[in-house]
Structure 1
Amino acid sequence: MKDIKEDQRDERAIRTVYMELRFPSLTSLLADVIRSKTSGNSCASTMENLALIGSYFSADAYNLLEELVEMTYSECERSTYNKMFLRQFVLLGMENRVPPCVSFHDMKLWLLNRSSYQELYQDMETGVNASAISILRVVWTIARCLHLNKMQNEVYSELHEEKRLSHLLGRKVTLEGLDTYVTSVWPDAQQDTKIFLGYLLDDVQAILVRTEVTTIERLLLHVQFRRATEPLVDMIIESSLDILLEELEPPAHHKSLVATLGQRSDIASEHTGRILLNTLASIPGLRQHITQNVLARICFDVARNMIQSFFQNFIRCSPHFCLMDVDESLLIARDSVLSAIVKMVF
Structure 2
Amino acid sequence: MSGHKKLISKAFKKLFNIREQVVIEKPKSFSGSMEQFHPRQSDSIVASRPQPVTQTPVAAIDLSALFYSLLFPSTQLSGTANELEKNVFRRVEAALASPKAIAERVLKLPTQVAALDKQLADENSDTKALLALIEKDPVLSVEVLKLCNSPLFKRSDKEVTSLQQALVQLGREQMRRFVTTAMMRKVIDIQPIYFRRFGSQVWRHSMQVAYLSCELTQDDPDTAFLLGLLHDVGKIAIFKLLLEAFKQAEPSEQPCSSLFRQVMTAKSLSLSALLARYWELPSLFESELSRLAIVDSKPIGGHAEVVWRANLISECSMLLEAGKLLPEQLDRLLIDASIDSETFEQMHQKLVQF
TM-score band by shorter chain is under 0.3
> Bigger radius of gyration, 1 or 2?
1
TM, length-normalised to structure 1? 0.21
TM-score (norm 2): 0.21
Structure with the higher helix share, 1 or 2: 1
